Amino acid sequence: MKIALIDYGSGNLQSAYKALELAGSYKKSKIFLTSKSKDLLKIDKIVLPGVGTFADCMKGLKSLPGMIDTLNEIVLQKKKPFLGICVGMQLLASEGKEKGNHKGLGWIAGKVIKIKKNKKKKVPHMGWNTVKVISKHPILKKKKFESYFVHSYNFICRDKKNILATCDYQQNITAIIGKENIIGTQFHPEKSQKVGLEILKNFICWTY
């Protein structure tokens, strides 16, 4: 099993790499850090990490020659399992509204908008929150679990079917999205201790 972790300068790259390596160790999976689009042609699964602003991450991804076209081909046509983490999930949206309007990959229809804050509802939504699974998925074995979130923007799916899990922060926060071979987590599995490693392991074991 070969898993590509896309290196486009995102902050959580190393943590994601180490967590995937540990989560995949018993399956003898190999994690490839890559920024070359042609590398993706030989792999089984893709993980897109993401820390930073929507625009900055999108710019980073675009700066890799042929990367977006290759991702479109491999994920949308060849249906290889794909996992996006945090901003790596938000980039799947049609549009991101962080510091201006920015086009996303458009794989899951929706937009990413700022969470409204006040003195009692602090933003960033930062810390451990309970994720409630509302739609069954092979990589989600538990109905409820605690995960680490750190973000100020929320993914609003146009089709509610794409929301697999939510959490409560005086409003509904989209915690996990999914569509066919694509899955995305707003929280950081690579920072969610045992629970997070479990999800990564399930992703590695997932056959779509």
129 binds other proteins (CB under 8 A): yes
Distances (CA, A) of 112 to 41, 78, 88, 166: 29, 26, 12, 15
Instruction: Give the span between the Cα atoms of 54 and 97, in whole angstroms.
Output: 8
Adjacent-strand bridge partners of 168: 172
100 binds other proteins (CB under 8 A): no
**Cβ-based nearer residue to other proteins, 67 or 86:** 86
Phi then psi for 72, rounded to 5 degrees?
Answer: -55, -45
73 binds other proteins (CB under 8 A): no
Instruction: Give the span between the Cα atoms of 31 and 173, in whole angstroms.
Output: 30
Selected from 123, 133, 134, 156, the binder of other proteins by CB under 8 A is: 123
Instruction: Give the span between the Cα atoms of 148 and 129, in whole angstroms.
Output: 7
169 binds other proteins (CB under 8 A): yes
Selected from 26, 127, 142, 158, the binder of other proteins by CB under 8 A is: 127
- 188 among known catalytic residues: yes
101 binds other proteins (CB under 8 A): no
Stretch of residues binding other proteins (CB under 8 A), selected from 6-14, 27-35, 73-81, 136-144: 6-14
How many Å from the N-terminal Cα to the C-terminal Cα in the chain?
14
State the DSSP code for 201.
Answer: H
Provide the binding-site residues for other proteins, judged by CB under 8 A.
11-15, 18-19, 22, 51-53, 56, 87, 98-99, 117-119, 121-130, 146, 148-152, 168-169, 188, 190-193, 196-197
